Amino acid sequence: MCRVVDLQQAVLAKNDACAHTLREDLAARGTALVNLLSSPGSGKTALLERELTLARDRGIPVAALTADLATENDAVRLARSGVPVKQVLTDGLCHLEAEMLGGHLHGWLPADTRLLFIENVGNLVCPASYDLGETLRVVLASVTEGEDKPLKYPTAFGLAHLVVVTKTDIAEAVSFDEKEFRANVEQINPGVEVVLTSARGGEGDGLLLDRALAARDGTPVHIPVMTRKSHHVHDAEDGQPCDDGHTHTADHSHGEHRHAGEHTHPHRTPGGRAHTTDPDTVASSRS
């Protein structure tokens, strides 16, 4: 068991080192990364399509990368916004990792991009432990998922800089108790902002975009309590190599927070190489 835990720590330590480099590289070019996490079917693709369209209409240079186990459906939907979009198919890997993400951004991300939205794999367990070099980590939950979602997935909600509730146009129909949901979020992540949205009804239009722009322009983000109490502390040695050609001291924080892992092994499939697809051609091009 100790060897398994050591392996987990080593994997996350290397990921954090790569995330540190990616964060610095993006900051140097004036780009903020927004990492969106949620369960499958939460409505994050619909919300993101709306926010990307608003950004385009406002003349804000944005881009989006979306990750799925299979299909290019989300990239095709997001591409309707008219902004640069890239699909990553993870071939069974249940989350994105910083090194993988950096490789997919190289040579693709437009130089003038102010905001890069990452639609992570639909999963509230594995992605929660992996820093992607984000400026803003956003966790979404739809009104159909239950008020106790934050209690069931404390790491995902506990490390969020912002919590977004989706599909509020049907909140009454599914008897969503907003007060109880907010209380549960506050229990896990005191002080984090909760915003209400509906891609179909229009509630909260532009709120995610506004919060992302503010973070990009230097407005301090919420620092979760869990970042100071994390039970998952990496004891990595300095000089962790990242395959981007840099060797540097591992920094296990994004916005000063550490990762509290809910699983004890890295989730990879045999040979689990990710590949990308271009929604303009919809044809897979494996890397």
Taking only the tens place, the pLDDT of each residue in 207-232 is 999 999 999 999 999 999 998 655 34
Residue that wins the pLDDT comparison between 78 and 247: 78
Label each residue of 179-219 as H, E or C: HHHHHHHHHHCCCCEEEECCCCCCCCCCHHHHHHHHHHCCC
CB 22 within 8 A of CB 132: yes
In which band, very low, low, confident or very high, does the pLDDT at 4 lie, cut at 50, 70 and 90?
Answer: low
Q: Which of 156, 162, 277 is nearest to 213 (CA)?
A: 162
- The pLDDT of 96-125, averaged and rounded, is 96
pLDDT on residue 162: 98
pLDDT on residue 242: 73
